[in-house]
Amino acid sequence: MLGNFAYCNPTKLYFGDESLKYLNTELPKYGANVVLIYGGGSIKKNGIYDEVVKILKENGKNVAEIAGVMPNPTLEKLYEGVEIARAHKADLLLAVGGGSVCDYAKAVSVSVNCDEDPWEKYYLKFEEPDCEIVPVGCVLTMVGTGSEMNAGAVITNRETKMKIGHVFADESVMPRFSILNPKYTLTLPHYQMVSGIYDIFNHICEQYFSGEDDNTSDYISEGLMRSVINSSRIANKDPQNYEARSNIMWTATWALNTLVAKGKSTDWMVHMLGQAVGAHTDATHGMTLAAVSLPYYRHIMPYGLAKFVRFAKNVWNIDTAGKTDEQIANEGLAAMEDWMRELGLVMNISELGANEEMLEAIAGSTIVMTGGYKTLEHNEIVDIFRESL
């Protein structure tokens, strides 16, 4: 049942191998002071940094930089960036990188003019911004998080070992524009590519696996899942396949821009589990999700059996003749496991640095959400992590 909801996603997307030139269309809309935000410097090696800086200069921009935004951006880094953006009187925050860089830019954007502590306000109290939000633009170089077209921003507090994502309700937090050039993703290492692919797939799963009803969102989700499965198999064998990489990039955007969540009561428990692993190990986001997914889904399957049967039939084309619902559902998850192994995803958390002794602590820092098929108890979370070892 779709229920009552609002939908608004004003982010302007420029997609394709020639999309960077549209920075020239967007930059004149903002004041002169731009803060360029990027990560570990790969954009300097592959030339994207030089191209972007050239365009900024041609548009007469006064540029400051926040460099070294790490995967799982930290609260310390957020504080540092806020100071830089304030000192520069930023008119635009231009993120050039993957989801962590875009997330980070959004976290800065709601904190520059905020008098309160952003961790306290946005990540512990989950409040909405009541200050002026600095506009954000993105040039995406990695695919998976969907951060380029949503109002989400995940920040990690290393001190308290909490990795928390806040999806802001206010669409003003969404990037004003994002430039999506699939070519930029062609040079990513295989590990990063498949990690992003699993992140996409899991975003769809998180929204799909809730409710029993017949909802347009689930049909769109099935289409997106079929697309990403198909393109990922092509890209896994041939990472330079532009068509496959462009479909993956586009699917990523639509997997997490609120569309397929409409009418769904999502709990995002795979992310809660994976983020707890990430906070304790600093592992790559998509791989933390991959490592906990199957133990989690096998655990909740009995509570949402009809949806797992539908998943098996509509996403994995499982032949249902003469089988029980449990058999069909299990075959669906087995097909998903085959696909995950084919891609070379990390299938257990011990590979990511977790061990038996850490399970209680990781489980303790897992945020438990409601809205899915089963609200997890602490002992169930420990069991799922143990299964994931």
Binding residues (CB under 8 A) for a second copy: these are 1-19, 22, 171, 182, 213-216, 219-224, 226-227, 230-231, 234, 242-244, 246-247, 250-251, 254, 259, 262-263
Distance CA 37, CA 43 (A): 11
Specify burial of residue 239 (Cβ count, 10 A radius: 0-12, 13-18, 19+): middle
* Closer CB to a second copy, 85 or 204, in the complex: 204
Backbone φ/ψ region at 31: left (φ over 0), alpha (ψ -120 to 50), beta: beta
Residue number with CB closer to a second copy (236 or 247): 247
Diameter of the chain measured on Cα atoms: 69
Measured from the CB atom, the residue of 314 and 327 that comes closer to a second copy is 314
177 by DSSP, 3-state: which?
strand
Distance of closest approach, residue 250 Cβ to a second copy, in angstroms: 5
Cα–Cα distances (Å) from 358 to 105, 159, 280, 389, in that order, read 32, 17, 8, 11
Bridge-based pairing of strands 33-38 and 177-180 is unpaired
Least distance in angstroms from the C-beta of 288 to a second copy: 26
* CA angle, residues 310, 216, 336, in degrees to nearest 5: 35
> Measured from the CB atom, is 214 or 357 closer to a second copy?
214
Q: What are phi and psi of 67, to 5 degrees?
A: -105, 165
Distance CA 176, CA 163 (A): 25
Nearer to a second copy, 11 or 111 (CB): 11
Q: Which residue's CB is nearer to a second copy, number 3 or number 31?
A: 3
Sequence-distant (≥ 6) Cβ neighbours of residue 30 within 8 angstroms: 91, 92, 135
3-class secondary structure per residue, 46-77: CCHHHHHHHHHHHCCCEEEEECCCCCCCEHHH
In angstroms, what is the minimal distance from the CB of 67 to a second copy? 29
Euclidean distance between the first and the last CA atom of the chain, given in angstroms as a whole number: 37
User: What's the distance, CA 303 to chain centroid?
Assistant: 26
Q: Are strands 33-38 and 62-66 parallel, antiparallel or unpaired?
A: parallel
6 vs 357, beta carbon nearer a second copy: 6
Q: How far is the CB of 223 from a second copy (least distance, A)?
A: 3
Gap between the Cα atoms of 179 and 20, Å rounded: 6
Minimum separation from the CB atom of position 379 to a second copy (A): 37
CB of 109 to a second copy, least distance (A): 18
Question: Would you say 24 or 160 has its CB closer to a second copy?
Answer: 24
Compute the least distance from the CB of residue 322 to a second copy, in Å.
16
24/11 Cα distance (integer angstroms): 16
Q: Smallest distance from the beta carbon of 222 to a second copy, in angstroms?
A: 5
The least CB distance from residue 17 to a second copy, in Å, is 7
CB of 1 to a second copy, least distance (A): 5
Name the residue nearer to a second copy (CB basis): 230 or 350. 230
* Rounded (10°) angle between helices 242-255 and 190-208: 40
Nearer to a second copy, 192 or 217 (CB): 217
